[in-house]
Amino acid sequence: MAKKGKKGALNNLRLEVKKESKDLFDGSRKLNFGHFFFSLGILLVILFTIAEPNQLSAGKGVILLLLGAVVGFLDVSKREAPYFLLASIGLILVSAAPVQVINYFNIGVYLRAALLNMSIFLSLAVVMVSLKIIYRIYLESK
């Protein structure tokens, strides 16, 4: 009887581990895909800031907007949405700050460009996450 109990417990443990690994694997594809686009967006923000701090072409802006839309749609889960929105809105508001007064080694120019590029990247992500939240609220109210 003790052997059956050990075998049953072992089988239950195997089933739980298998189920958890399946859940992790299924969810990780979506998360890794979204994290890839977020990392790509941050990398492009840095590259665009270093390359041309005084101007941002329309093509580069469109690339940042599209990446932001993909990040907002794929990367932000229901649990992370409030934190993402709060942090993103904070960064977007800070991008309007008068950082050009920092003239030490032209840091103000680069800081202003980095904040502007980041706000362009995050603006459509914020819109997508907000729309997802509004849609969830609508579905839950039905």
pLDDT of residue 14: 55
Q: What pLDDT does residue 25 have?
A: 44
What confidence score (pLDDT) does residue 21 get? 45
Q: How far apart are the first and last CA of the chain?
A: 52
Largest interatomic CA distance in the chain: 80
The predicted-structure confidence for 56-91, as pLDDT tens digits, reads as follows: 889 999 999 999 999 998 888 888 899 999 999 898
135-to-16, 27, 79, 91, 132 alpha-carbon distances in Å? 33, 21, 15, 24, 5
Tens digits of per-residue pLDDT, 6-62? 566 555 555 554 554 444 444 544 446 788 999 999 999 999 999 988 888 899 999
Residue written as tokens 């749609």?
73
The whole-number pLDDT of residue 78 equals 85
Q: What is the DSSP letter of 96?
A: T
Residues 81-138: tens digit of each pLDDT: 999 999 998 988 888 877 667 767 778 888 888 989 999 999 999 999 999 999 999 9
